[in-house]
């Protein structure tokens, strides 16, 4: 569930859209006591001490949940929910302590910013969001806005290798680290995408799981009535494969990602697992990047060569750097790659030579500097072009 914000912290500069906020975490809490704790954390998060507990860590004013004795498991669920819903609350540390006073739970949280520095940081983040929105294309649909935010993050934030979280700068896990300091891990990338998308009224949430054996976070986003997976972190890992994870189905994302269990479905809560909240089904291909932008071929005959030639002419007219060929599922990607690129008669290069016959100088494709990559999960050849 997402709800409209009556007063957004962000000014939608030149973008006539209403901001929303994610509330699936809050809605996923079963007990009134947990929801009460959630609301108290949000309202008290700004009440920070100026005195350092230890370098880079400040106390948040203790939170009293009157009438309830919450245990560690319940508090962790609430903190998962806070993290799930609020990419703009970027300063709460991961550790907490609690105790009881009669029928009351006293919860202690920490901030990675002092009170004064937090004011400055919030302004910096708000200013950066306003700046990004001011650069956003005008009068575009949700897909085009999503593409703009995706490309902005990929082009402006560097992935931070931290080794272990013990000595890591906690800001790399946040939207602040990604958007203001331009350095983040996957969590920072994902929270930034959620923050930007929600700021223009597009539903976007974070997903926790793994890619291979590594814990990971990415997003799900609702575009034109359908939910999709989008992994900005891994799209930023390779210029060649910038859109490999742009709007995927459950089936495709699960080829190299695993999705953690939903909290509502677990029968035994494990404090070492980070849970998801209410995962929607993602089964549409309509707004997948390659479905919308790749040239599609279902054969490797003369007709396919003509289609590729015309596609190259069109791409070269605007000097596009990348040219995508999506191979039909009834063809082997390996076979297509061999016939088009690796083995005689090198059909792709024949198509380039034919295209060049109708192209002007400066728009002709340099057939000596063609590079390629592939996306086996989606049966796509990615061709990098240069011009002469």
Q: Is 7 a domain residue?
A: no
User: For residue 370, with 0-12 CB atoms within 10 Å meaning exposed, 13-18 middle and 19 or more buried, which class applies?
Assistant: middle
Instruction: Write down the pLDDT at residue 7.
Output: 32
Instruction: Indicate whether 138 and 274 sit together in one domain.
Output: yes
Find out whether 159 and 177 touch, Cβ atoms under 8 Å.
Answer: no
Which of 80, 111, 142 is the C-terminal boundary of a domain?
A: 111
Asked whether residue 142 falls in the same domain as residue 173, the answer is: yes
SS3 content of the chain, % helix, strand, coil (to 5): 35, 25, 40
- In this predicted structure, the answer to whether residue 10 has a pLDDT above a threshold of 60 is no
Do residues 131 and 262 share a domain?
yes
Residues 6+ apart with CB under 8 A from 13: 130, 133, 134
Domain identity same for 139 and 266: yes
Q: Residue 264's pLDDT is what?
A: 87
pLDDT beyond 60 at 12: no
Q: Are residues 334 and 186 in the same domain?
A: no
Q: Dump pLDDT digits (tens) for 224-257.
A: 999 999 999 999 998 888 999 999 999 999 999 9
Give 51's pLDDT tier (boundaries 50, 70, 90): confident
For the chain, give the number of residues: 388
Over the stretch 276-307, which tens digit does the pLDDT of each residue have?
A: 999 999 999 999 999 999 999 999 999 999 99
Q: Is 191 helix (H, G, I), strand (E, B) or coil?
A: helix
The pLDDT tens digits for 58-70 are 999 999 999 999 9
Which one, of 155, 163, 248, lies nearest residue 207 by Cα?
248
Q: Are residues 253 and 340 in the same domain?
A: no
Examine residue 168 and state whether it is found in any structural domain, yes or no. yes
pLDDT at 267: 82
CA distance linking residue 109 with residue 24, whole number of Å: 22
DSSP 3-state assignment of 194? helix
The verdict on 364 and 220 lying in the same domain is: no
Any idea what the CATH number is for the domain that residue 137 is in? 3.10.620
Are residues 280 and 175 part of one domain?
yes
The bridge status of strand 183-184 relative to strand 158-159 is parallel
User: In this predicted model, what pLDDT tens digit does every residue of 337-354 receive, in sequence order?
Assistant: 999 999 999 999 999 999
Provide the terminal-to-terminal Cα distance of the chain, rounded to the nearest Å.
Answer: 52
Which residue, 85, 94, 4, is CA-closest to 42? 85
Look at residue 191 in the predicted model and tell me its pLDDT: 98
Residue 64 lies in domain: 23-111
Task: Tell me if 94 is assigned to some domain.
Answer: yes
- Domain count for the chain: 3
- Which are the contacts of 386, defined by CB distance < 8 A and separation ≥ 6? 321, 365, 366, 369, 370
pLDDT tens per residue across span 304-337: 999 999 999 999 999 999 999 999 999 999 999 9
Whether residues 187 and 331 fall in one domain: no
pLDDT tens-place string over residues 146-199 = 999 999 999 999 998 876 555 568 899 999 999 999 999 999 999 999 999 999
If pLDDT is split at 50, 70 and 90, which confidence band does 47 have?
A: very high
- My answer on whether 103 and 165 are in the same domain is no
**Peptide bond connecting 370 to the previous residue in cis, omega within 30 degrees of 0:** no
Cβ-contact 218, 207 below 8 angstroms: yes
Same domain? For 86 and 126 the reply is no
pLDDT digits 0-9 by tens, 88-105: 999 999 889 999 999 999
The residue from 79, 111, 143 where one domain ends is: 111
The chain-wide mean pLDDT, for the chain, equals 92
The answer to whether 110 and 57 have CB atoms below 8 angstroms apart is yes
Neighbours of 95 (CB within 10 A): 9
Is the residue at 53 inside a domain? yes
Residue 347 lies in a domain: yes
Q: Maximum Cα–Cα distance for the chain, whole Å? A: 85
Are residues 65 and 86 located together in one domain of the fold? yes
32 and 67 in contact (C-beta within 8 Å)?
A: no
pLDDT at 166: 55
Q: Is 12 among the domain residues?
A: no
Final residue of a structural domain among 238, 261, 284? 284
Determine the pLDDT at residue 120. Answer: 96
Closest CA to 192 of 149, 229, 221: 149
Structural domain contains residue 33: yes
Within a domain: residue 2? no
């Amino acid at each position: 569930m997402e709800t409209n914000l009556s007063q957004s912290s962000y000014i939608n500069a030149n973008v006539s859209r209403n901001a929303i906020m994610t509330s699936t975490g809050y809605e996923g809490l079963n007990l009134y006591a947990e929801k009460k704790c959630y609301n108290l954390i949000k309202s008290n998060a700004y009440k920070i001490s100026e005195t350092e507990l230890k370098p880079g860590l400040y106390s948040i004013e203790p939170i009293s949940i009157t009438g309830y004795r919450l245990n560690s498991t319940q508090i962790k669920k609430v903190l998962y929910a806070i993290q799930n819903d609020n990419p703009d609350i970027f300063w709460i540390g991961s550790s907490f302590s609690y105790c009881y006073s009669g029928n009351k739970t006293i919860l202690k949280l920490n901030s990675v910013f002092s009170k004064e520095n937090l004011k400055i940081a919030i302004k910096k983040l708000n200013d950066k969001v306003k700046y990004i929105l001011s650069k956003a294309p005008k009068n575009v649909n949700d897909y085009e806005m999503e593409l703009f935010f995706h490309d902005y993050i990929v082009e402006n934030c560097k992935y931070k290798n931290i080794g272990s979280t013990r000595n890591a700068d906690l800001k790399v896990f946040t939207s602040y680290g990604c958007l203001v300091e331009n350095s983040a891990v996957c969590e920072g990338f994902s929270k930034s995408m959620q923050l930007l998308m929600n700021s223009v009224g597009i539903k976007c949430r974070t997903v926790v799981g793994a890619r291979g054996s590594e814990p990971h976070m990415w997003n799900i986003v609702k575009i034109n009535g359908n939910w999709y997976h989008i992994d900005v972190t891994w799209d930023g890992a390779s210029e060649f494969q910038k859109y490999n994870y742009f709007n995927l189905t459950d089936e495709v994302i699960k080829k190299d990602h695993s999705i953690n269990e939903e909290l509502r479905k677990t029968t035994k809560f494990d404090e070492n697992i980070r849970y998801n909240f209410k995962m929607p089904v993602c089964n549409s291909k309509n707004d997948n990047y390659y479905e919308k932008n790749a040239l599609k071929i279902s054969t490797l005959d003369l007709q396919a060569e003509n289609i590729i030639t015309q596609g190259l002419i069109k791409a070269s007219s605007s000097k596009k750097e990348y040219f995508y060929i999506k191979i039909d599922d009834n063809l082997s990607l390996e076979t297509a790659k061999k016939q088009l690129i690796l083995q005689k008669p090198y059909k792709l290069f024949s198509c380039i030579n034919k295209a060049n016959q109708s192209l002007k100088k400066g728009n002709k494709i340099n057939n000596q500097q063609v590079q390629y990559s592939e996306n086996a999960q989606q049966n796509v050849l990615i061709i990098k072009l240069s011009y002469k």
